[in-house]
Amino acid sequence: MSTSQLLDELKTLTQAHIKYAENLLKETDEKLNSRISDGSWSVLECLEHLNRYGDFYIPEITQRISSSKTSPANAFKPGLLGNYFAKSMLPKDKLNKMKTLKSMDPINSQLDKSVVEKFIRQQSQFLDLLEKAVSVDLNTIKTSVSISKLIKIKLGDTFRFVIYHNDRHILQAERVFEYSLIGEIVAKRDQ
């Protein structure tokens, strides 16, 4: 695929994630902390999970881009491992559950809308990084991954993985939020 096509697709997804999060700022902390079940995540826990990944990937990508001496390539060819990671994050009709690292699991955290504000800031940073990525080679720059600094994947795959992962959990947050709205309607009806 062309590099510009990939970066444009990822920018569009990131902009949609920002817009979604900005709308969440209008909601109460109580609504954003409600869950479908005890073991599920709330909307804020979904975003906190993504913030924790952003805490790793933003500095990692920033450092790799700023120290790069590469010239941009016209096309991006996914790597074997990076493509696997990225595709595993793509949302499906029925989301397959995945285990998360303990350090990335926000369940039962005390959260408020500052999580949403941080998510918006991080997504803006990703947009800036996607802009900077136009001037480097997404094929030759490699970044570490959060599960092990020893594993490295192409920068293009790292962007795909992170942004598809964001998309996956935004969809999860949307489902949780819809469920809480249905719960409110039922509770009002039963009063």
The whole-angstrom separation of Cα 104 and Cα 49 is 6
Q: What percent of the chain has a predicted confidence (pLDDT) above 70?
A: 87
Over residues 33-43, the mean pLDDT reads 88
Per-residue pLDDT tens over the stretch 135-145: 999 999 999 99
Measured CA distances, 48 to 4, 16, 104, 105, 188 (Å): 30, 18, 8, 9, 30
Return the structure tokens found at 69: 């001496």
- What pLDDT score does 9 carry? 97
Residue 168, pLDDT above cutoff 70:
yes
Over residues 149-155, the mean pLDDT reads 92
Burial group, residue 93, by CB count within 10 angstroms (0-12, 13-18, 19+): exposed
Mean pLDDT of the chain: 89
Per-residue pLDDT tens over the stretch 39-76: 889 999 999 999 999 999 999 999 999 999 989 999 99
Return the structure tokens found at 125: 């940073």
- What pLDDT score does 177 carry? 87
Over residues 105-117, the mean pLDDT reads 86
Q: Nearest-CA neighbor of 14 among 175, 144, 166? A: 166
Residue 20, pLDDT above cutoff 80:
yes
- What pLDDT score does 40 carry? 87
- What pLDDT score does 112 carry? 94
Residue 184, pLDDT above cutoff 60:
no
